[in-house]
Structure 1
Amino acid sequence: MLSTEIPARRRRALLRESLAGRTGPALRFRSVPTAAAAGRAAACGLDGVHLAWADLGPSGEVVAGIVRAMPLPVLVDLGGIADVERAVELLEVAGVSAILLDDLARPDPAGAAGPPPGSDDPVTRLAVALGARRDPDLLIGVRPAVRSTEGLIDAVDRARAQVAAGADLIVVGRPETEAGYTVLREALDIPLLVDATASDHSPPPTPRRLAELGMDVVIHPVTLPRTAPDAAERGVIATRDTRHARAGGGSAARTTEEHR
């Protein structure tokens, strides 16, 4: 039976532990729009849920409701919002386990105040997020901006700067070839997350293949039929659970069992 009594601090510690020196299958997070969808993801055996800040409104109430709805880690993607400090404070109180942010602020579409001074520096926003964090187990991840003229080399350089500044994980963009994943894995010594919800012309590699390429977390879009998702998801999760069993019951498998 699922329990929602796992405290936020414990969820954060479990997620951090599961990512430390990870081997075996990548953790699977699913983007969800509501608390009900989060509960279904937990019942299907996924490792966590992903929320986009742009869909949540200006307060942490929706996030807190989703955290209360199921026992898994909740990851919130802030994207390029300007007020990182306030968002991190709200989300930590709401109980999230991980926060992602773009390393550059995006212009406000409503034409309000522009990005704060220094926001073009790849580590400035990370420093603000780390300064706002109170629980050291709250994971802070960064998505490096990739300039079209620089590509993978620029992404590696920016990611290395963020690792040196204290990032807990890096959000990997979609390389043009699978070799790009290998380059990033060899260049960086912290967990790597692939956001498969990002729009692209081609589908990403399968979760199994991404794990083979050294990726640690995969965020899946909501692609299954909303009217009957359970049967389809059970087939996907059964495959993942079989891989856990073959892994010999390591720390990742134990963490998943503690979540249930």
Structure 2
Amino acid sequence: MGISIRIRELFFFSLVALTAVGVGLALWPFISPQRSDLPWSTAINMDLNIADNLREVPVIEKREKIPGYKREAFGDGWARTSGPDLMALSAKYHCLLPTTRDLILATQFAVQPNDFSGAKSGRPAAQSCKFIGSIRDPYSPEIITAKKSDIDHLVPLAAAWDLGAAEWDPALRKAFANDPLNLVAVSAQHNRDKSDKLPAQWLPPDLGSRCWYARRLAAVFATYPLRVPQKDVSVLRQQCIFRKTTN
């Protein structure tokens, strides 16, 4: 009798523990690494429903390597920023965010003005922004600073080239390479480990980060004329299993 009661107790506590884990995974992985108080926050933090976003995406059997890829095909480095978003952010932080990279760092790190002379860089003398403090790496429990982070293209440029971008005009490739929807500051090591891999070959080491990662990837695939391998579609659909809307 004592053994039977003990088994029931163990079963009950195991069920409670699994339920707690499920609830936790159902909630916090949906949070985007970027803050929601910036001009493009609607695009980044929209309700990213994997099933809806993948419904109209062309599916192919597998990724085929397309010759001719080079980073310069997507523009010469990070684009220079301009327009009303830049004006709004410059006013908000009282400093300049000259490139897309700076804009992405501003979505994740604290920002302060920094005395800056443009003599060495060739830019006009102005007060640039500096990024301070540390954050939890979006891909792992590692703590990172802006100086030790890379800007990751969630859909890697080399992969995008193979999946359709080789056929795009240069302007669309440049826009893709600088779209905040496809960019996030992460651990440099994890960015390099990922390289140009798609989700069937690589997912964030932190299990709790995989849902938002899959949602963002699906949104990028839905936004641009890309074809997605069947294996990758299947993997993306499996990352948010605790929420009905993403099945």
State the TM-score, normalizing by the size of structure 2: 0.27
Q: Which has the higher helix share?
A: 2
Whose relative contact order is higher, 1 or 2, with alpha carbons under 8 Å and at least 6 apart?
Answer: 2
Q: TM-score, normalised by structure 1?
A: 0.26
